[in-house]
Structure 1
């Protein structure tokens, strides 16, 4: 069987295992990724992880500022790919682009569709306390993650799992699922399945305010927010007018008679804060203008006292 001619569109590290699979199984005509962006204190231009991987493979890289222009769309049409694979690319495809490949445009999405559509499905699955998630491959249409589903794979979300940990599991899973999807499409053995829109939950963009802790919520809800925003954008609270970032916690039982946000107990390796229901045990945090540290070191350094109140 002739190898499929493909185009890959992706940007972050999450997409790299899928690019690797496509490189092994197909003839990649072009890799399309976001333009180099300034990063770090020096604001030096930095290539995306997908561009870096593509250059290692010796693949041609295209970086349009806007993919839907007449000129760039015509260029894609001239390539006549059998399949376009899209993984966390960062731009919306026009219907004209979606119509180019004979096998369609396949997206690798980091949730069990239709549950979490949108930009941040991994974060929101943890923030909302889900016990499982996974990866779905789908045929793209003009909607936001609304296309017909092809294959799925699941993974359990453990009570202390962070977004960073879940991201790495789903990243590897995405590559494996794409491999099976390509085989199934080439053989004609996959039957696309319509999504039930009534089961959808929008996983919107995150920003700094998403991480502002509301101490009147339950300890479990706050714990889920903290692990869901680890390692970005990170949950935070204020103490004496200064911003503290929270990296690792756990929900604990205990006396909640103190106002939410009040430090109720100092331990050897942690300290506890009252919430709307239950206590939040803080294990790792980041004081203002300092590096991440264990809560034990923070307590031993007299960083907090019983009765202090996070707002």
Structure 2
């Protein structure tokens, strides 16, 4: 088959690499231009560089304009495989090939359609995350599922660890899907609309620690916002502080949420939870990152300073 790939960053790179490893011809690789946006510099393996190194024609575009439509049609693809193409695709593109378009999405559809699926799944304490190959249609991640694989979420898993684990699923799933399609054995499962869940992009506001939440929830937020993603953070005496490592205290602490208390279990315990009277587990901050990028222990940062973390 003649295959066109659409993709960006490491997800697109893994997808192109998978197709290059098959007997199918890559007629065109479409990707976005390099960017200095912090998010787009994460997991930034270049689709363009991989394509050019393998003699594959490249089309670089920011969106699906007429020039891109013309380039895809001119490539006369039998199939498009897309992964992390970041703008809307019109029917003129995804329906152009004989066999349509397969999209790769990093969740176990029909759950977690949309954005930041692994981060949301971890925050929601899902037991597994994964990758789904589905046919592209006019909806967002709504087309029939053709392949899917899961990986377990462990008790200390971070978003970063789960992203890397799901990236390793891309190539075998793409290879299997292309093989099944070429053999005429590809099976499709229509997604039930009632089973679908959709999530939006997370913002800085949602990374701010709410100390009226439980210690378990705060510790989970720290793992969900692991490097290189924007970290969970708080403000203390005017300083913007990001949390790199924390754990739930074994002892219980009472008082006002956000109150910095004492050195405890290798860090500093901060009161959290919704009650001011019933003692509960505290969040113990261990390693912090300051505004200048330096990393410090929580005991060094707080020193002998007590007080209240800004809850506003």
Q: Tell me the alpha carbon deviations over residues 117-142 of structure 1, each in whole angstroms, 9 at most, x when there is no partner.
A: 11211111112222211111100101
Q: Determine the C-alpha separation between the residues in 1 that align with 2:196 and 2:271.
A: 34
Q: Check the 8 A contact 1:113/1:136 in 2, yes or no.
A: yes
Q: 1:70 aligns with which of 39, 42, 66?
A: 66
TM-score normalized by the length of structure 2: 0.89
Q: Where do 5+ consecutive residues of structure 1 fail to align?
A: none
Query: After the TM superposition, which segments of 4 or more aligned residues of structure 1 sit over 6 Å from their partners?
Result: none
Q: Check the 8 A contact 1:134/1:154 in 2, yes or no.
A: yes
Q: 1:23 aligned to 2:20?
A: yes
Q: Determine the C-alpha separation between the residues in 1 that align with 2:122 and 2:160.
A: 11
Q: Determine the C-alpha separation between the residues in 1 that align with 2:168 and 2:27.
A: 23
Q: Determine the C-alpha separation between the residues in 1 that align with 2:269 and 2:192.
A: 42
Q: Check the 8 A contact 1:153/1:173 in 2, yes or no.
A: yes
Q: Determine the C-alpha separation between the residues in 1 that align with 2:253 and 2:193.
A: 40
Q: Where do 5+ consecutive residues of structure 2 fail to align?
A: 274-279
Question: RMSD of the TM alignment (CA)?
Answer: 2.0
Q: Tell me the alpha carbon deviations over residues 224-261 of structure 1, each in whole angstroms, 9 at most, x when there is no partner.
A: 22211212121110111211001222233432312112
Query: What are the equivalent positions in structure 2 for 1:1-311 lying under 5 Å apart?
Result: 4-25=1-22, 26-38=24-36, 49-67=46-64, 69-231=65-227, 232-267=229-264, 269-276=266-273, 278-293=281-296, 295=297, 298-299=298-299, 301=300, 303-305=302-304, 307-311=306-310
Q: Determine the C-alpha separation between the residues in 1 that align with 2:88 and 2:302.
A: 47
Q: CA deviation at 1:309?
A: 2.1
TM-score normalized by the length of structure 1: 0.89
Q: CA deviation at 1:96?
A: 1.5
SS at match of 1:37: coil
Q: Check the 8 A contact 2:10/2:46 in 1, yes or no.
A: yes
Go from structure 1 to structure 2 and tell me whether the alpha carbon gap of 1:281 and 1:131 turns closer, same or farther (over 3 Å shift): farther
Q: Tell me the alpha carbon deviations over residues 1-21 of structure 1, each in whole angstroms, 9 at most, x when there is no partner.
A: xxx110111111133222111
Q: Tell me the alpha carbon deviations over residues 182-227 of structure 1, each in whole angstroms, 9 at most, x when there is no partner.
A: 1111112122111122222222112221211111011121122221
Aligned to 2:276: none
How many residues matched? 298
